[in-house]
């Protein structure tokens, strides 16, 4: 799956409470893992999750998603431990680390600081790289050609209808000719639809990178505490390896390695 087009809807997740209390209050709450948020893959249906880390932490060994398990749920020692779902289901003997909420937050802060320390360079280059990667000029030229071809086919179809009305033409021959023109029109239309689809998908990818760059620009030079909004807007996912090492993937595809 192309994880580049994963987009998280912070508006939906930032309920009135977030507006009232502010983002920093959020990160102070020990039970913020019950906050609802939503995300969408490839602009598909919006998926609501009850936990900010759900669907964002993966086992690097088997590729399975990390799932939270609450330990000592009835006591004050209650804590959430994340582990490979394959391990929970006893299907796979993955040696990847189990992580607590606090450990995940600390890993995220470490990774965010790596990005923060190079944000000036990142902001400077990210948009120009993205414009090159998601360049629309070939697709726009293709759309112009397809439109021209459609106009030409439409005009030929009109000519054929007019000719058929004005003179006695063999009807089988006329139908064959007309159908060939329609086929030409439909082929051009399909080309246009494909080109326009490509342009739209490039534009939405560019918009995603632009949002990411703006979020990076807003980052402090040093991230000293976990901020859920920063996590959801900047970090795409985390891949947990064995040996206490985690790869953190950012929204622009950049990956950084951090350790516990």
Let me know: does 209 contact 130? Beta carbons within 8 Å.
yes
Spatial separation of the C-alpha atoms in residues 61 and 165, rounded to whole Å: 71
Binding residues for Zn ion, total number by CB under 5 A: 7
Spatial separation of the C-alpha atoms in residues 102 and 30, rounded to whole Å: 10
Stretch binding Zn ion (CB under 5 A), from 49-57, 80-88, 102-110, 151-159 = 80-88
Q: Which is nearer to Zn ion, 61 or 227 (CB)?
A: 61
Q: Which is nearer to Zn ion, 64 or 233 (CB)?
A: 64
Non-local CB neighbours of 135 within 8 Å, separated by 6+ positions = 202
* Nearest residue to 53 (alpha-carbon basis) of 76, 24, 83: 83
Stretch binding Zn ion (CB under 5 A), from 30-38, 76-84, 150-158, 246-254 = 76-84
If one asks whether residue 192 binds Zn ion (CB under 5 A), the answer comes out as no
Q: Which long-range contacts (CB under 8 A, 24 or more apart) does 47-52 make?
A: 48/12, 52/228, 52/231, 52/232
Q: Which is nearer to Zn ion, 86 or 208 (CB)?
A: 86
Non-local CB neighbours of 99 within 8 Å, separated by 6+ positions = 57, 66, 81, 82, 83, 107, 240
From the CB of 56, what's the least distance to Zn ion, in Å? Answer: 15
Give the one residue of 8, 52, 57, 59 binding Zn ion; rule: CB under 5 A. 59
Stretch binding Zn ion (CB under 5 A), from 21-29, 39-47, 62-70, 223-231 = 62-70
* Nearest residue to 68 (alpha-carbon basis) of 100, 44, 97, 45: 100
Spatial separation of the C-alpha atoms in residues 122 and 39, rounded to whole Å: 25
Using CB under 5 A as the binding rule, the residues of this chain from 206 to 245 that contact Zn ion are: none
If one asks whether residue 65 binds Zn ion (CB under 5 A), the answer comes out as no
If one asks whether residue 86 binds Zn ion (CB under 5 A), the answer comes out as yes
Q: Which is nearer to Zn ion, 104 or 130 (CB)?
A: 104
From the CB of 64, what's the least distance to Zn ion, in Å? Answer: 5
The one-character DSSP state at 65 is B
Let me know: does 157 contact 178? Beta carbons within 8 Å.
yes
Give the one residue of 94, 111, 116, 143 binding Zn ion; rule: CB under 5 A. 94
Q: Give backbone dihedrals phi and psi of 120, rounded to 5 degrees, phi first.
A: -60, -45
Give the one residue of 8, 52, 57, 84 binding Zn ion; rule: CB under 5 A. 84
What does the per-residue mask of binding to Zn ion show for 193-212, with x meaning CB under 5 A?
--------------------
Give the one residue of 41, 47, 62, 156 binding Zn ion; rule: CB under 5 A. 62
Q: Which is nearer to Zn ion, 3 or 141 (CB)?
A: 3
- Which residues contact Zn ion by CB under 5 A? 59, 61-62, 64, 84, 86, 94
């Amino acid at each position: 799956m192309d994880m580049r087009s994963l987009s998280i809807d912070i508006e939906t997740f930032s309920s009135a409470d977030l507006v009232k209390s502010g983002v920093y209050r959020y990160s102070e709450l020990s039970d913020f893992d019950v906050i609802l948020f939503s995300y969408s893959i490839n602009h598909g249906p919006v998926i609501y999750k009850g936990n900010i880390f759900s669907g964002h932490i993966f086992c690097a060994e088997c590729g399975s998603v990390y799932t939270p398990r609450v330990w000592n749920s009835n006591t004050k020692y209650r804590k959430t431990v994340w582990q490979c779902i394959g391990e929970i289901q006893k299907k796979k003997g993955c040696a990847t680390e189990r992580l607590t909420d606090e450990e995940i937050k600390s890993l995220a802060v470490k990774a965010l600081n790596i990005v923060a320390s190079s944000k000036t360079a990142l902001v400077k280059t990210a948009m120009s790289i993205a414009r090159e990667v998601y360049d629309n000029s070939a697709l726009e030229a293709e759309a112009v050609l397809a439109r021209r071809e459609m106009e030409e086919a439409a005009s030929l179809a009109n000519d054929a209808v007019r000719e058929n009305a004005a003179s006695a033409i063999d009807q089988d021959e006329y139908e064959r000719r007309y159908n060939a023109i329609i086929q030409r029109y439909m082929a051009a239309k399909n080309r246009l639809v494909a080109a326009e689809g490509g342009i739209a998908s490039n534009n939405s990818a560019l918009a995603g990178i632009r949002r990411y760059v703006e979020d990076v620009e807003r980052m402090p030079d040093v991230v000293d505490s976990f901020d859920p909004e920063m996590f959801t807007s900047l970090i795409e996912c985390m891949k947990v390896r064995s040996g206490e090492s985690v790869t953190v993937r950012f929204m622009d595809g950049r990956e950084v390695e951090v350790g516990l």
